[in-house]
């Protein structure tokens, strides 16, 4: 299963990606982590990446693209991955589509963790403070100044991807303000219900029920958390909806 997690800094992408990795045994590909590794190298490129990341701006496309192409080609990512932090611009998304197309594969889900901007600053400042109190490392870009740049970059360059993927029918939205476990539960439900590895997932035929469903399911396309939960509550007797076991 190939999944992209979309959402602003502080939305919880990293946390949810790790949970998906543990539950479904697909690798977590974080461009932030890849670039932080590149930044730790004492090379000219490493220094440049480090500077850019500390400022909160986006690292130039060719570098990110190269890192993603290299990582996705590794054997553990052949049958699936959860991507966190990429694509982050329309241009990266178009390049990524081309790459997947060349490989003859496609994205199963782009899951947006929706969080209002006002709470992001607070969340990240708290995260940095807690990391410091626990004696852990605080990210060089988890400060007010860089955070504002990161949030602006999200609004201007990444948020347009929501419409981009919605128009391709792969977008699902989850309310990222819910408790962490509820967000995870909703993501898992999306993955189970729309599991493309289950043949004819959208059939009403009982013999082709999607994994995790005890009742029948029919043609529908949930593209928002609200729609999704109404599908979950729908009466199976009416010929639509999937009731989880």
In the complex, the residues that contact ligand ADP under the rule CB under 6 A are: 9, 31-32, 35, 52-53, 56-59, 64, 85-86, 88, 92, 141, 150
Instruction: Please name which of 199, 213, 197, 158 lies closest in space to residue 4, comparing C-alpha atoms.
Output: 158
DSSP-derived secondary structure letter, 208: G
The Cα–Cα gap between 64 and 206 comes to: 44
Cβ-contact 204, 216 below 8 angstroms: yes
Considering 65, 71, 150, 216, which one is annotated as catalytic? 150
Considering 50, 71, 88, 172, which one is annotated as catalytic? 88
Instruction: Please name which of 176, 178, 168, 184 lies closest in space to residue 221, comparing C-alpha atoms.
Output: 168
Contacts of 207 (CB under 8 A, 6+ apart): none
Q: How far is the CB of 233 from ligand ADP (least distance, A)?
A: 33
Q: 115 or 171: whose CB is closer to ligand ADP?
A: 115
Helical ranges in 6-156 per DSSP H: 13-24, 31-39, 44-55, 61-72, 90-103, 117-133, 144-153
- Cβ-closest residue to ligand ADP? 32
* Catalytic residue list contains 139: yes
Cβ-contact 201, 208 below 8 angstroms: yes
* Catalytic residue list contains 168: no
Q: 117 or 235: whose CB is closer to ligand ADP?
A: 117
Considering 36, 57, 139, 215, which one is annotated as catalytic? 139
The Cα–Cα gap between 234 and 56 comes to: 44
Q: 92 or 189: whose CB is closer to ligand ADP?
A: 92
Q: How far is the CB of 8 from ligand ADP (least distance, A)?
A: 7
Q: 59 or 193: whose CB is closer to ligand ADP?
A: 59
Q: How far is the CB of 33 from ligand ADP (least distance, A)?
A: 7
Catalytically active residues, by annotation: 13, 88, 127, 139, 150
């Amino acid at each position: 299963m190939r999944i992209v997690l979309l959402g602003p800094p502080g939305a919880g992408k990293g946390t949810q990606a790790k949970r998906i990795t543990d539950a479904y045994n697909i690798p977590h590909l974080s461009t932030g982590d890849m670039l932080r590794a590149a930044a730790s190298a004492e090379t000219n490129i490493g220094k440049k990446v480090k500077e850019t990341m500390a400022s909160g701006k986006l690292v130039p496309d060719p570098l990110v693209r190269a890192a993603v192409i290299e990582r996705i080609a590794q054997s553990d990512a052949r049958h699936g991955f959860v991507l966190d932090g990429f694509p982050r611009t329309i241009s990266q998304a178009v390049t990524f589509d081309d790459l997947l197309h060349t490989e003859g594969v496609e994205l199963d889900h782009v899951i947006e963790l929706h969080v209002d901007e006002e709470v992001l600053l607070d969340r990240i400042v708290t995260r940095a403070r807690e990391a410091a109190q626990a004696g852990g490392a605080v990210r060089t870009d988890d400060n007010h100044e860089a955070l504002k740049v990161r949030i602006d970059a999200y609004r201007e360059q990444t948020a347009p991807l929501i419409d981009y993927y919605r128009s391709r029918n792969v977008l699902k939205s989850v309310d990222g303000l819910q408790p962490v476990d509820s967000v995870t539960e909703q993501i898992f439900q999306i993955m189970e219900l729309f599991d493309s590895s289950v043949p004819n997932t959208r059939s009403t035929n009982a013999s082709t029920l999607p994994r995790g469903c005890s009742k029948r399911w029919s043609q529908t396309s949930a593209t928002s958390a609200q729609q999704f939960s109404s599908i979950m509550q729908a009466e199976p007797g009416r010929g639509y909806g999937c009731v989880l076991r």
